[in-house]
Amino acid sequence: INNKALVGSRLLKMSAKDLADVPLVDIDPQGIYKYILIKVYGKEKSNGDEPSIKIVRGYANCEWHADIYDRVQAICKRTGLDTECLGGGRIEHNPDKKYIKVYGHSTGFGKADHLESKRILLTEYKDYEIETSDEGY
């Protein structure tokens, strides 16, 4: 076994593990705030496939969608993962009513696919009613 192939296979395993370790959802526990939909990429495999996942992030203490993206991008880069922002919007999160509304858009990144964001949010908030709307900002 040559060292280059061995190092390459270790990187692939590490990258796949790092990708698997990324939580699909990280949003604030309540309130109305901006959110973004992000695609996170692992290292390219030898067959040309590039493993990826889509994640949702939303934080009330981020004034701009870009602030959320900068935070997530910095975390991912530390583990060697690349990111791409697929758009944004707003989340209204009411834990007492087990309700989330996903709506609006990001001026800088465009509108996220809110149905895709809803699908991802349901992995974490299985017993919630999650509504989507293209209305509002």
Catalytic residues, by residue number, are: 65
34 is in an annotated binding site: yes
Q: If DSSP codes are grouped into helix, strand and coil, which group holds residue 47?
A: coil
Q: How far apart are CA 10 and CA 3, in angstroms?
A: 10
Q: If DSSP codes are grouped into helix, strand and coil, which group holds residue 101?
A: strand
- Which residues are part of a known binding site for substrate? 34
- Which residues are part of a known binding site? 34
